[in-house]
């Protein structure tokens, strides 16, 4: 059988045509995109949150939920631990304070229907939860940006003990906190133009009501100077490439300096 006869065979012609079609499809098949992180589209960046804040006498470890990055615990090396509990809808319900693993105090939060007013009921705890005693409460008013606008503290007999009024600038940063009861006192803040240490920790403003660590007010930006009510202090920072603090050097009105290091 000669070559010409074999190539003119209907079966051979069909096979050759099929090979040509498959080759053309392969040439025009789109190249699959590489997975994120391997030259393809970048993954959505995870909001930067401090994991550890430390100085010579104190180290603070922070832990967060995997879903939503909610602050779960604020654990200090001196034995004090503060914890937050949330609903399945990620709404804050409870603040707890422990001393060396023993529950000593907690606050239950009750939001109104519009989530603009929060009633915070305070309780002292003894014998690791076996004895619980109401000790008062405070009411938190939130503004349109869900930032604290004022706080009123009450005793057991509903007597008003003190009032804090929060004032914000056009940039949304906290300018002053004014105490109007029993006497008028004012704390004034000035800031840098970088990213605040707790910018991505939404509950920091509520923790600041229970913990007087100044840097909890470093949300939109970082405090450079704090004046008034015997709490004057100045602070300087170094930053990472994203503009978040890496080191914090604070000096109080007595000249005492404290150097903090931040790990993300």
Q: Which residue has the higher pLDDT, 233 or 40?
A: 233
Whether the predicted pLDDT of 36 surpasses 90: no
Least confident residue range of 33-42, 68-77, 200-209? 33-42
Instruction: Tell me what pLDDT residue 45 has.
Output: 62
Distance CA 138, CA 140 (A): 7
| Total domains in the fold of the chain | 1
In a domain, 15, yes or no: no
Least confident residue range of 14-28, 106-120, 160-174, 249-263? 14-28
Using CA of residue 45, residue 72, residue 237, residue 186, what is the dihedral sign? positive
In a domain, 100, yes or no: yes
Instruction: Tell me what pLDDT residue 133 has.
Output: 96
Instruction: Tell me what pLDDT residue 255 has.
Output: 87
Instruction: Tell me what pLDDT residue 229 has.
Output: 74
- Do residues 250 and 37 lie in contact, with contact meaning Cβ atoms separated by under 8 Å? no
In a domain, 167, yes or no: yes
In a domain, 178, yes or no: yes
In a domain, 189, yes or no: yes
- Could you tell me which of 55, 61, 63 has the C-alpha nearest to residue 261? 55
Instruction: Tell me what pLDDT residue 41 has.
Output: 44
Percent of the chain exceeding pLDDT 70 equals: 83
In a domain, 255, yes or no: yes
Whether the predicted pLDDT of 253 surpasses 60: yes
Distance CA 104, CA 182 (A): 28
Whether the predicted pLDDT of 245 surpasses 80: yes
Q: Which residue has the higher pLDDT, 128 or 59?
A: 59
Rounded to 5°, the CA angle 153-233-142 comes to 35
Whether the predicted pLDDT of 222 surpasses 60: yes
CATH number, domain with residue 256: 2.40.128.720
pLDDT (tens digit per residue) in 95-120: 999 999 999 999 999 999 888 999 99
Coil, helix or strand for 182?
coil
pTM of the model: 0.80
Which domain, by its residues, includes 229?
52-263
Residue-averaged pLDDT of the chain: 86
Whether the predicted pLDDT of 10 surpasses 80: no
Instruction: Tell me what pLDDT residue 33 has.
Output: 45
pLDDT (tens digit per residue) in 174-207: 999 999 887 899 999 999 999 999 999 999 999 9
- Do residues 216 and 206 lie in contact, with contact meaning Cβ atoms separated by under 8 Å? no
Whether the predicted pLDDT of 6 surpasses 50: no
In a domain, 41, yes or no: no
In a domain, 249, yes or no: yes
């Amino acid at each position: 059988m000669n070559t010409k006869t074999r190539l003119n065979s209907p079966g051979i012609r069909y096979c050759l045509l099929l090979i040509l079609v498959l080759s053309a499809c392969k040439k025009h098949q789109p190249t699959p995109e590489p997975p994120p992180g391997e030259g393809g589209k970048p993954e959505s960046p995870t909001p930067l949150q401090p994991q550890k804040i430390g100085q010579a006498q104190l180290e603070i470890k922070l832990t967060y939920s995997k879903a939503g990055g909610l602050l779960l615990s604020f654990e200090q090396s001196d034995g004090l631990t503060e914890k937050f509990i949330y609903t399945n809808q990620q709404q804050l319900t409870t603040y707890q304070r422990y001393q060396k693993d023993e529950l000593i105090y907690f606050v239950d939060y009750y939001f109104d229907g519009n989530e603009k007013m929060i009633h915070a009921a305070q309780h002292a705890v003894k014998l690791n939860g076996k004895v619980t005693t109401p000790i008062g409460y405070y009411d938190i008013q939130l503004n349109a940006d869900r930032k604290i606008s004022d706080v009123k503290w009450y005793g057991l007999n509903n007597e008003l003990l003190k009032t804090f009024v929060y004032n914000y600038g056009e940039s949304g940063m906290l300018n002053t906190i004014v105490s109007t009861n029993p006497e008028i006192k004012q704390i004034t803040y000035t800031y840098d133009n970088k990213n605040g240490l707790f910018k991505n920790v939404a509950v920091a403003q509520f923790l600041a009501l229970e913990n007087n660590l100044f840097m909890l007010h470093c949300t939109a930006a970082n405090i450079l100077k704090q004046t008034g009510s015997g709490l004057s202090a100045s602070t300087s920072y170094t930053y990472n490439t994203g503009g978040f603090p890496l080191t914090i050097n604070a000096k109080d009105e007595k000249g005492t300096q404290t150097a903090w290091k931040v790990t993300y």
